[in-house]
Chains A and B, each alone.
Chain A
Amino acid sequence: MSQTPETTNARADFEPFIQIKDNYNFWYGSTQVLFDMNLDIPEKQVTAFIGPSGCGKSTLLRSINRMNDLIEGIHHTGDITIADQSIYDPSLEVISLRKRIGMVFQKYNPFPKSIYENIVFSLRIAGRNKKSELDEVVERSLRGAALWDEVKDRLHESALSMSGGQMQRLCIARAIANNPEVILMDEPCSALDPIATGKVEELIHELKKDYTIVIVTHNMQQAARVSDRTAFFYLGKLIEYDVTDNIFMKPSNEQTEAYVSGRFG
């Protein structure tokens, strides 16, 4: 198996917004989990990361907002840039980086606070407490997450009283409250029922008008449905990266073909 990432065909037809470049490698302690990654992610599109468990797709996603920093003993080579600015730039504080990047997790994880306080959390920690501003952000975020009509009358009730799908959309609303440039989604629908999944997918489709979205998913149908571009990873390597139609209809790599057609392994 020759492992030259076949990304060149997908390059150059867009202006990259997030760039994973200079052969990005990543280690947990002495275990290397990402190998020689080079990947350009377009602005205001949905890019899906697919691949079997342990292929490194979540690690790569979490590298983008440096969430991996929480783990001890990590190191990397290569670089990741967002709008041409390196995320590893020593003058850039990781906190301000994360303010530019919203993140939605696999298991919906609203804070044990009211719906309102969940959304304004990122503003409050930044010391922005003006009521009119907060109110406005809450309404905008909830409308953006297609949740406003459902919860506008109970903003001050506990977020944990909502349904699973609503909680995940609340997490999305929380992620966009700070007006980020990028939204990272780590298997956002894996804990949701099909209806809620459908709603979240609709939401992703709407959000890409304003945000650059990177989504990790185990569900290939979901990747096919929501993404514009898809990257297939296997064993820490980027196998193929192309527009979603090509990945699913005529992948150029045998492994991709086998994976998307379910013949893998």
Chain B
Amino acid sequence: MNRYFHKELEEIRSKLILIGEKANEAGRLAVEGFIESDLEKTQAAVKMDDEIDDLEVEIDRASVRYITLRSPVSSDVRLIFVAIKASHDLERAGDEAHSIAKKTRTILTRDGKVKNPVEIEKMSALAFAMMRDAITSLLDENLELAQGIIKRDKEVDRINKENYTTLYNEMKGEHGDSSTHVETILISKSIERIADHAKNLAEEVIYLLTGE
């Protein structure tokens, strides 16, 4: 028997998907802004952060209300629990996108153009694919997909480490552009973080689906 308040649960779930989409979109815009030296995309990414924050608050509020008024149990209560945690992760992913965009803006306003010696594009493609898959696994309740995401985090970590080494070495050799290098290191780190949040989200989906 489906109860009328189960609709509220579905609303929470769709809000969760929505916040995921938005976080992913913000990250994509921020990275594209960096790679293409596109200030507009960067600005768009900065603006999205507020929407994401609002959505997180909405999800939290709806979750608490659902727990208080509907006394959920079993998979329902896991969904609420996952919603609270995942919305937090996604909000943090949004924050990382926000920070990428701000750093890109700093570089662009200072240099006019980003000179990028490292693998940001491939790395971000990997990270966003993870994030997209994590959201899809939540939407489709796809356990295998979620389990696959966790391993993929290693590759992102490795690229991040490479980027760091490359940039660090460059900074030791030439003494021209160290501030851009520091910002690029941080951007790389943010992308790595986004991948971490995608991994967390995947783990939460696994918890939602298996209860473990």
Chain A residues proximal to chain B, CB less than 8 Å = 195, 198-199, 201-202, 205, 221, 224-225, 244-245, 248-249
Interchain CA distance A31-B3 in the complex, whole Å: 42
Q: A225, B68: Cβ atoms under 8 Å? A: no
Interchain CA distance A62-B182 in the complex, whole Å: 75
Q: Within B1-59, which residues are at the interface with A (CB < 8 Å)?
A: 1, 3-5
Q: B64, A224: Cβ atoms under 8 Å? A: no
Q: Which of A199, A224, A245, A248 contacts B1 (CB 8 A)?
A: A199
Residue B71 at the chain A interface, CB threshold 8 Å: yes
Q: A249, B68: Cβ atoms under 8 Å? A: yes
Q: A225, B70: Cβ atoms under 8 Å? A: yes
Specify which chain B residues have a CB less than 8 angstroms from the CB of A205 in the assembled complex: 4
Q: B68, A224: Cβ atoms under 8 Å? A: yes
Q: A245, B69: Cβ atoms under 8 Å? A: yes
Specify which chain B residues have a CB less than 8 angstroms from the CB of A225 in the assembled complex: 5, 69-71
Specify which chain A residues have a CB less than 8 angstroms from the CB of B5 in the assembled complex: 225
Residue B65 at the chain A interface, CB threshold 8 Å: yes
Q: Which of B1, B69, B70 contacts A195 (CB 8 A)?
A: B1
Q: B3, A249: Cβ atoms under 8 Å? A: no
Specify which chain A residues have a CB less than 8 angstroms from the CB of B69 in the assembled complex: 224-225, 244-245, 248-249
Specify which chain B residues have a CB less than 8 angstroms from the CB of A244 in the assembled complex: 69
> Contact flags (1/0) for B57-92 with A, using CB distance below 8 Å?
000000011001111000000000000000000000
Specify which chain A residues have a CB less than 8 angstroms from the CB of B65 in the assembled complex: 245, 249
CB distance from A259 to the nearest CB of B (A): 14
Interchain CA distance A221-B68 in the complex, whole Å: 9
Interchain CA distance A225-B6 in the complex, whole Å: 11
CB distance from B62 to the nearest CB of A (A): 11
With contact pairs A245-B65, A249-B64 given, residues A202 and B3 touching in the complex (Cβ less than 8 Å): yes
CB distance from B137 to the nearest CB of A (A): 31
Q: A202, B64: Cβ atoms under 8 Å? A: no
Q: A202, B71: Cβ atoms under 8 Å? A: no
Chain B residues proximal to chain A, CB less than 8 Å = 1, 3-5, 64-65, 68-71
With contact pairs A245-B65, A249-B64, A249-B65 given, residues A202 and B4 touching in the complex (Cβ less than 8 Å): yes
Most buried by B among A195, A225, A244: A225
Specify which chain A residues have a CB less than 8 angstroms from the CB of B70 in the assembled complex: 224-225
Interchain CA distance A244-B70 in the complex, whole Å: 12
CB distance from A256 to the nearest CB of B (A): 13
With contact pairs A245-B65, A249-B64 given, residues A221 and B3 touching in the complex (Cβ less than 8 Å): no
Interchain CA distance A80-B17 in the complex, whole Å: 49
Name 18 extra pairs, CB < 8 A, besides A202-B1, A225-B70.
Answer: A198-B1, A198-B3, A199-B1, A202-B4, A221-B71, A224-B68, A224-B69, A224-B70, A224-B71, A225-B5, A225-B71, A244-B69, A245-B69, A248-B68, A248-B69, A249-B65, A249-B68, A249-B69
Interchain CA distance A205-B1 in the complex, whole Å: 14
CB distance from A88 to the nearest CB of B (A): 36
Interchain CA distance A6-B1 in the complex, whole Å: 37
Q: Which of B3, B64, B68 contacts A201 (CB 8 A)?
A: B3
Interchain CA distance A249-B62 in the complex, whole Å: 12
**Nearest residue in B to A201 (C-beta to C-beta)?**
B3
Interchain CA distance A202-B5 in the complex, whole Å: 9
The 5 lowest CB-CB distance pairs between A and B, nearest first, are: A224-B69, A221-B71, A205-B4, A248-B68, A249-B68
Interchain CA distance A195-B71 in the complex, whole Å: 15
CB distance from B58 to the nearest CB of A (A): 15
Interchain CA distance A65-B65 in the complex, whole Å: 34
**Nearest residue in B to A195 (C-beta to C-beta)?**
B1
CB distance from B1 to the nearest CB of A (A): 6
**Nearest residue in B to A221 (C-beta to C-beta)?**
B71
**Nearest residue in A to B70 (C-beta to C-beta)?**
A225
Specify which chain B residues have a CB less than 8 angstroms from the CB of A245 in the assembled complex: 65, 69
Specify which chain A residues have a CB less than 8 angstroms from the CB of B68 in the assembled complex: 224, 248-249
CB distance from A222 to the nearest CB of B (A): 10
CB distance from A166 to the nearest CB of B (A): 15
CB distance from B57 to the nearest CB of A (A): 15
Specify which chain B residues have a CB less than 8 angstroms from the CB of A195 in the assembled complex: 1
Interchain CA distance A199-B4 in the complex, whole Å: 11
Specify which chain A residues have a CB less than 8 angstroms from the CB of B64 in the assembled complex: 249
Interchain CA distance A199-B1 in the complex, whole Å: 8
Interchain CA distance A205-B4 in the complex, whole Å: 8
